Amino acid sequence: MWKRYLVKKNERALLRREGDFVKVLEPGVFKALDPFNRLAVEAVRMDGPLSDTALGDYLRKSEPDVMSRHFVQMDLGDDEAGLRYEDSTLVELLPPGTRRLYWRGVIDHRLERISLTEASALPPALVLRMTQPTLRARPVQGLAGVLLAQVPAYNVGVLKIDGKVDRLLEPGVIGFWRYSRDVSVELVDLRVQAVEVAGQEILTRDKVALRLNLAATWCYVDVLRAWSTLQKPAEHLYRELQFALRAAVGTRTLDELLEDKQVIDTTVTAQVQARLQGTGLELRSVGVKDIVLPGDMKTILAQVVEADKAAQANVIRRREETAATRSLLNTAKVMEENPTALRLKELETLERIAERIDRISVFGGLDQVLNGLVSIKPGAT
């Protein structure tokens, strides 16, 4: 008929009669007369919250003395978040609407309330406690309720709250509450970036199909303006380069493009820079990497180049022949007017002939030899 219960020092016990709460049993030995077996004792651990939510609601309303003596009440409103500490150590982030009761005694439980209506950003000191949770001896729970954004150097973060651009974030680590709002951060690189428009099949004005690859460099000059006016700035720039390239090639013939290869760069640059006015983007440079011709057009151009070079060689050959003839004519005039020069020419000719002959016999003197080799009629031109 008598029942005896032992409550340990790190426990509390709930005494129930026929399932209904009677009181909280503290550490020690509890004895009770129970001839009809109506009493039940439920031992509970003190390192966790009270699991019976219905009992918790009853204690809040009807047993304020029991609440203040045995429990730490952690109830949050819809516009509040909570930081739960155990022995001055942050262990959990509590979302809005939380209703929990923690046992007093072994662990010192403490709640810090934070209003979600005043600011969306977390205090910097709190962010430092949440970074690298795996390196803590006891990781913080409930981190799904915050957004920890790390902005690297040479970048900025575009903060969007409920789909609207709010402000820019400087390099570093910053946290935002996710409760009651949709928060996102997109990283934007402020350095000069490269974009390629590759494999563009475009017809020239004379209906020649060309494949072109274009490269460009660009950067942000006003990030907020770019993200407020353009949904995706990089894709917008790519499309503008595409349209400008087609306009530059489609309005010119193949010969015009081959004669002035820089006309594409100049035209694309001018058109895209005009389109980017007021968007927060700046085009730094544009260049055509290569122009690929069709196979049959390559053969035709090779034949054209070959014929052109052959014609140039023929002109040069004729020019040299004319110069040589003019030189001979001048030499003849000099020898006609100067007998000494004629004599020297005769000696030069004799010298070249003598180089090819091993033995020479001269009869009648040197004058007769020269007269036999070269005969010039008086008055001849």
d(CA 234, CA 219) in angstroms, rounded, equals 10
Q: Rounded mean pLDDT of 74-99?
A: 92
- Contacts of residue 324, Cβ cutoff 8 Å, sequence gap at least 6: none
Give the CA-trace dihedral at 370, 373, 379, 380, to 10 degrees. -150
H-run or E-run covering 189: strand 183-189
- Looking only at the bridges linking them, the beta strands covering 193-203 and 164-169 are unpaired
Question: What percent of the chain shows pLDDT beyond 70?
Answer: 87
Supply the pLDDT for residue 77: 92
Nearest to 217 by CA among 273, 164, 160, 176: 273
Helices (H), ranges, 160-294: 223-229, 233-250, 254-259, 262-275
Rounded average pLDDT over 119-145: 84
**CA contacts within 13 A on the Cβ side of 74:** 27
pLDDT range class, residue 222, cuts 50, 70, 90: very high
pLDDT class of 174 with cuts at 50, 70, 90: very high
pLDDT band at 75 (very low <50, low <70, confident <90, very high): very high
Confidence label for 381 from pLDDT (cuts 50, 70 and 90): very low
Greater confidence, 354 or 365?
A: 354
Q: Is the pLDDT of residue 379 over 50?
A: no
Quickly state the pLDDT bin for 380 (edges 50, 70, 90): very low
How far is Cα 284 from Cα 272, in angstroms, rounded to an integer?
A: 11
> Comparing 37-41, 133-137, 337-341, 364-368, which segment has the lowest mean pLDDT?
364-368
Reading across the β-sheet that carries 39-45, which strands appear in turn?
Answer: 20-25, 11-17, 39-45
Burial profile 105-115: b = 16 or more Cβ within 10 angstroms, e = fewer = bebebbbeebe
**Regarding predicted confidence, which is higher, 156 or 335?**
156
At 209, is the pLDDT very low, low, confident or very high (cuts 50, 70, 90)?
Answer: confident
- pLDDT for residue 243 is more than 70: yes
Instruction: Using the predicted structure, report yes or no on whether residue 366 has a pLDDT greater than 80.
Output: no
pLDDT at 214: 92
pLDDT grade for 378, boundaries at 50, 70 and 90? very low
Residues 6+ apart with CB under 8 A from 247: 267, 271
243 versus 130: the higher-pLDDT residue is 243
Half-sphere exposure of 46 (CA within 13 A, CB side): 22
369 and 362 Cβ atoms separated by less than 8 Å = yes
What's the first-to-final CA gap in the chain, in angstroms? 161
Lowest mean pLDDT among 7-11, 223-227, 341-345, 364-368: 364-368
A 10 A CB-CB count for 196 gives: 12
pLDDT computed for residue 218 by the predictor: 95
Q: What is the DSSP code string of 317-333?
A: HHHHHHHHHHHHHHHHH
State yes or no: pLDDT of 331 exceeds 90: no
% of the chain at pLDDT higher than 90: 39
Distance (Å, whole) CA 291 – CA 259: 13
**CA 194 to CA 47: how far, in whole Å?**
57
What DSSP designation does 141 have? Answer: B
Instruction: Give yes or no for a contact between 288 and 265, defined as CB atoms under 8 angstroms apart.
Output: yes
Triad 285, 289, 290: Cα angle to 5°? 150
CATH 3.30.479.30 fits 193-293, yes or no: yes
pLDDT bin (cut points 50, 70, 90) of residue 130 is: confident
Each residue of 36-63: b (16+ CB within 10 Å) or e? eeebbbeebebeebbeeeebbeebbeeb
Residue 58: alpha-carbon gap to chain centroid: 57
- The residue extents of the domains of the chain are 193-293, 312-373
* pLDDT number for residue 361: 64
Which residue did the predictor score with more confidence, 373 or 38? 38
Backbone angles phi and psi of 279, in degrees to 5: -100, -10
Cβ-proximal residues to 322 (8 Å cutoff; 6+ apart), any chain: none
What is the average pLDDT score of the chain? 84
Q: What would the mean pLDDT of 227-247 be, rounded to a whole number?
A: 91
CA–CA distance from 71 to each of 12, 46, 60, 61, 329 (Å)? 11, 10, 10, 14, 127
Helices of type H across 49-148: 53-62, 64-70, 124-130
| Strand 11-17 with 20-25, pairing | antiparallel
Q: Per-residue pLDDT averaged across 11-38, rounded?
A: 89
Task: Give how far Cα 113 sits from Cα of 47, 80, 124, 195, 341, Å.
Answer: 21, 7, 16, 48, 119
Asked whether the predicted pLDDT for residue 283 surpasses 90, the reply is: yes
